Chains A and B, each alone.
Chain A
Amino acid sequence: LAKTTQPISMDSYEGQEVNITCSHNNIATNDYITWYQQFPSQGPRFIIQGYKTKVTNEVASLFIPADRKSSTLSLPRVSLSDTAVYYCLVGPYAGNMLTFGGGTRLMVKP
């Protein structure tokens, strides 16, 4: 599985847009990029998945440049409830397991 690197922590304020970048230099051709969110004492929650270019859903956008060696999760107008750990995962679409890294701890302040 491709190794991912993300900032350990980020701070933001309510109403701001937050961009969390993940580096995955050795991504394979058949790898997808997926982001999960985890609140304290809860299980991870799937946010978004993409392969290339841009993907948007009701929660976030995912930007993937042409070389796919990095990706950026964009959270529009964050609120206090977006305070969580955000994990970037890279791997094949089909498989039996997820490999989580350390994630990015996002703190949203009032």
Chain B
Amino acid sequence: EPEVTQTPSHQVTQMGQEVILRCVPISNHLYFYWYRQILGQKVEFLVSFYNNEISEKSEIFDDQFSVERPDGSNFTLKIRSTKLEDSAMYFCASSEEQNNYGYTFGSGTRLTVV
């Protein structure tokens, strides 16, 4: 079964540092997403991406965040200057169509900001 691959699985960074979380979506998928889940809380939408541009973003996705598809396979989330409250699991997802469901999520990157 095709998978969404995320690296690294765990990243520890100091407050104020930049981090880049990487994702390889399923190869024939065209829609890409980032979600996050703070420990013990709900899964929250961050951003959706299609045709090399952001389709939709949440209030969480402020100027500190950016996404990029630098080549034909990778999809990255950059946090420019990390804060303690950015500590969370970050999940990448992809879908073949713009249906709202039937996404495939990756296993996530646990980001710890110290």
User: Interface of A with B (CB < 8 Å)?
Assistant: 32, 34, 38, 41-46, 49, 87, 89, 91-103
Besides A95-B98, A96-B55, 16 new A-B residue pairs in contact (Cβ under 8 A), listed by A number: A32-B101, A34-B100, A34-B101, A41-B108, A43-B91, A43-B93, A43-B106, A44-B91, A46-B102, A91-B100, A94-B98, A94-B100, A97-B56, A97-B58, A98-B43, A98-B45
User: Interface of B with A (CB < 8 Å)?
Assistant: 4, 31, 33, 35, 42-45, 48, 50, 55-56, 58, 89, 91-93, 98-108, 110
Contacts of A102 in B (CB 8 A): 42
Minimum C-beta distance from B73 to chain A (A): 19
Pair B101/A49 contact, Cβ less than 8 Å: yes
Pair A32/B100 contact, Cβ less than 8 Å: yes
Picked from A94, A95, A100, the residue with its CB within 8 Å of the CB of B42 is A100
Picked from A42, A49, A96, A101, the residue with its CB within 8 Å of the CB of B102 is A49
A sample of 30 inter-chain contacts (CB < 8 A) reads A34-B100, A38-B43, A41-B89, A41-B107, A41-B110, A42-B105, A42-B108, A43-B4, A43-B91, A43-B92, A43-B105, A43-B106, A43-B107, A44-B91, A44-B103, A44-B105, A45-B105, A46-B101, A46-B102, A49-B101, A92-B100, A94-B98, A94-B99, A94-B100, A96-B31, A96-B33, A96-B98, A97-B56, A97-B100, A100-B44
- Give 4 nearest A-B pairs by CB, closest first: A43-B105, A95-B100, A96-B56, A96-B48
Q: Is the interface of A mostly helix, strand, loop or mixed?
A: loop
Contacts of B89 in A (CB 8 A): 41
Cα A97 to Cα B98 in complex, Å, equals: 10
Question: Closest residue of chain A to B49, judged by CB?
Answer: A96
Cα A36 to Cα B85 in complex, Å, equals: 26
Pair A101/B42 contact, Cβ less than 8 Å: yes
Contacts of B44 in A (CB 8 A): 100
Pair B101/A97 contact, Cβ less than 8 Å: no
Question: Closest residue of chain A to B102, judged by CB?
Answer: A46
Pair B48/A97 contact, Cβ less than 8 Å: yes
